[in-house]
Amino acid sequence: MRLADSSAIDARRRLRPPGIAFGGDYNPEQWPEEVWAEDVALMKEAGVSLVTAGIFSWAKVEPRPGEYDFGWFDRVMDHLAGAGVAVCLATMTASPPPWLSRLHPGILPETADGRRMWPGGRQHYCPSSRVYREHAVRLVERLANRYADHPALEMWHIGNEYGCHTPMCWCDESAADFRRWLAERYGDVEALNDAWSTAFWAQRYDSFDEVLPPRLAPTFPNPAQQLDFARFSDDALLQCYLAEKEVLRRITPDVPVTTNFIGVHKPVDAFRWAAEEDVVSVDVYQDPHDDSTHIAAGFIFDVTRSARAGQPWMLMEQAPSAVNWRDRNGPKPPGRMRLWSWQAVAQGADAVLYFQWRQSRGGAEKYHSAMVPHGGTDTRIFREVSELGHELGSVPEIAGTRSTAEVALVLDWNSWWALELDSHPSTALNQMEIALAHYRPLFEDGIACDVVPPDRDLSGYRLVVVPNLYLLKEPDAERLTAFVRGGGHLLVSFFSGIVDECDRVHLGGYPAPLREVLGLRVEEFWPLAENETVDIRHADGTVGRADLWSEAVVPEGAQAVADFGCGPLAGQPAVTRHSFGEGSAWYVATRLAPEAMRALTQDVCRAASAGPLLPGLPEHVQATVREGDAGRFLFLLNHGRDAAEIQLPEPMTDALTQGATPTDRLTLPAAGVAVLVEP
């Protein structure tokens, strides 16, 4: 078993040739059996090597409690094996069958205001429900025993998009589970009272039995209770996953397991979950109507790659063209699906899969694109999908290679949950917006970036970017301080280092645990009104803009890089720099407009000697490198609308247009992709 190495996704490859896996969700139960033979024939035509099957099959394989009908699924697996298509087999537990909630209505989730969520959609189960978990585990046990030795089985796909529709449940069973979880965390109720600051508003508990989830209340529920409920809810989902994983490990110890994250999703702490997976996988749906969709996707890809420290990962779902769930669902214009698929590979993916293989005829997703559209194979979508399948298949040597970065951006789910609680100086702070505001200039300037939790080893980085790390534990603050003292560079944005893990303010002047390294104190928060902006004046006379937030900063060793140019804080520092130990630390006390943020990030990167992979690239061209035993691959992707002229540092060959002579200049058309290798 080689689960921990770089090619974890290859750990049990039997059918599939080595290389980037290509395929999608396969839902054969939606079609009569005659269609299945055509399915596998077309899969071969399209270069499909891996499908993820059975995600929504529970009601068909267990039509009545404890009565199983696997015969039809055996035939699906045999068809696939016969065609040499490997299976990432779903555990089938994502959508319970109607009989389960009819017999046990207690499995149905409840909202904070006590409304029950009924079956009829999917994911209608309370994550704490013992009955749900028992039935899920019973099914998984059957499945694992039945298919353990099936030649098509390559890996397990546990559940599906945990927390997508039901990330939290406030029912009585969840309440009891929450109390159990709290008793384990705190030991005795006085520790809970202390952690939750229950002296406030007469909230003191005399016993754990009195504690409830933060249900609808007349006013703000206790923030520490809300924060613990977010932790608990993430954990309840993880327990569902782990219960299934335990069965799979026992019966099929050499088969890797994964579960697909929904992009970077607030309810599910990807860093914590990734430790429980053999391969990380993610679903990313770029929006053709959004010009910067590839930057948001780039962020998700970097989080996914970093979640298991650079190990290759799987793009488990993307749409071949349009989705059905936005208000307006634009198709992907010609070439964009290829470009965005290659983007995932360029950022470390070893699998490019779609939702879904054949477009549904009925049901809620019939207008969601699929690899085989309603119109069949004589369609743009099928042609583009097949071309990509063969193109990816032509460069197997990329699989298993990795990338490195000199810059890390810090993301912490606990802090995210705490930052976005109510009753704050401003409820307009959004963790993803501010993280992306910091990520964007790095992406645009071609600076490779990992996204890491605050307790990760930072010693390999030159620059660490910390957007809104509101909740900060002392040891993590000490790690950041030591990083700068030892010569690292740090960029921290406003409202960071404010509370401890119980959402209690760190006393001693904001942001107490970061004051030393930043060389300043924040005396007052000064959030701005909706649509209000302020000027930022730099020493060289340039003026930028900022909005959302400002702070009264008192320097204690830090130098002002820019001041507020107007408003009540006029003349006070808006951006500072502090030389500390062998390194330096910047602080941004407001939300800079994108141009000002880009200029600041460039200054900070220059000081940190963290440069782009390829200096002087045209705007909108992304460059990444993956390397390993098979060589060094330079990926160039043109996200712009015009062709781009690119000067390479030395003559190289494009692996996608094999046979071409090495060149040091190339023209990349709009949406063009090149994978360059040194000759």
523 has catalytic annotation: no
Q: How far apart are CA 257 and CA 276, in angstroms?
A: 9
Identify which of 587, 628, 580 has the alpha carbon closest to the alpha carbon of residue 497. Answer: 587
Residues belonging to the chain: 679
Q: Of the candidates 10, 62, 278, 283, which one interacts with ligand GAL according to CB under 6 A?
A: 283
* Residue closer to ligand GAL (CB basis): 161 or 444: 161
The kind and range of the H/E element at 536 are: strand 533-538
**287 scored as a contact of ligand GAL (CB under 6 A):** no
* Residue closer to ligand GAL (CB basis): 228 or 317: 317
Closest CB 355 distance from ligand GAL, rounded Å:
4
Coil/strand/helix, residue 138? helix
Q: Could you tell me which residues come within 8 angstroms of residue 408 by beta carbon, excluding any fewer than 6 positions away? A: 306, 449, 450, 451, 452, 456, 458, 461, 463, 464, 465
161 has catalytic annotation: yes
Q: Which stretch binds ligand GAL (CB under 6 A): 158-166, 339-347, 403-411, 654-662?
A: 158-166
Residues in contact with ligand GAL, counted by CB under 6 A, come to a total of 10
- Give the x-and-dash track for 164-193 against ligand GAL (CB under 6 A): x-----------------------------
Q: Which of residues 205-224 bind ligand GAL (CB under 6 A)?
A: none
Q: Which stretch binds ligand GAL (CB under 6 A): 5-13, 67-75, 142-150, 160-168?
A: 160-168
**336 scored as a contact of ligand GAL (CB under 6 A):** no
Q: Give the other-Cβ count within 10 Å of 668's Cβ.
A: 21
Closest CB 461 distance from ligand GAL, rounded Å:
33
Closest CB 108 distance from ligand GAL, rounded Å:
20
- Helix 293-307 to helix 431-444 angle (10° resolution) is 100
Closest CB 334 distance from ligand GAL, rounded Å:
21
- Give the x-and-dash track for 105-144 against ligand GAL (CB under 6 A): ----------------------------------------
Name the active-site residue from 154, 317, 384, 501. Answer: 317
* Residue closer to ligand GAL (CB basis): 326 or 390: 326
Identify which of 19, 30, 54 has the alpha carbon closest to the alpha carbon of residue 370. Answer: 30
Q: How far apart are CA 157 and CA 256, in angstroms?
A: 9
Q: How far apart are CA 86 and CA 80, in angstroms?
A: 7
* Residue closer to ligand GAL (CB basis): 25 or 444: 25
Q: Of the candidates 170, 355, 416, 526, which one interacts with ligand GAL according to CB under 6 A?
A: 355
Q: Are 350 and 394 in contact (CB under 8 A)?
A: no
Helix residue ranges, H only, 583-678 = 594-608
| Sheet bearing 631-638, strands edge to edge | 621-628, 631-638, 673-677, 644-654, 663-668
End-to-end, the C-alpha distance of the chain in Å comes to 34
Q: Tokens for 461, please give them.
A: 């980085």
**160 scored as a contact of ligand GAL (CB under 6 A):** yes
* Residue closer to ligand GAL (CB basis): 21 or 520: 21
Q: Which stretch binds ligand GAL (CB under 6 A): 128-136, 157-165, 435-443, 576-584?
A: 157-165
**264 scored as a contact of ligand GAL (CB under 6 A):** no
**161 scored as a contact of ligand GAL (CB under 6 A):** yes
Identify which of 491, 429, 483, 420 has the alpha carbon closest to the alpha carbon of residue 457. Answer: 483
* Residue closer to ligand GAL (CB basis): 197 or 329: 329
Q: Of the candidates 323, 472, 499, 514, which one interacts with ligand GAL according to CB under 6 A?
A: 323
* Residue closer to ligand GAL (CB basis): 122 or 620: 122
- Give the x-and-dash track for 361-380 against ligand GAL (CB under 6 A): ----x--x------------
Name the active-site residue from 110, 161, 244, 444. Answer: 161
Percent helix, strand, coil in the chain, to 5, is 35, 20, 45
Cα→Cα distances 403→200, 347, 400, 542, 635, Å: 49, 8, 10, 37, 11
Q: Give the other-Cβ count within 10 Å of 493's Cβ.
A: 24
* Residue closer to ligand GAL (CB basis): 160 or 481: 160
Q: For residue 213, which phi and psi values (nearest 5 degrees)?
A: -65, 165
Q: Tokens for 70, please give them.
A: 């696997």
Q: Tokens for 272, please give them.
A: 């914590």
Coil/strand/helix, residue 624? strand
Q: Which stretch binds ligand GAL (CB under 6 A): 156-164, 307-315, 403-411, 634-642?
A: 156-164
**What amino acid positions are annotated as catalytic residues?**
161, 317
Site of interaction with ligand GAL (CB under 6 A): 160-161, 164, 283, 285, 317, 323, 355, 365, 368
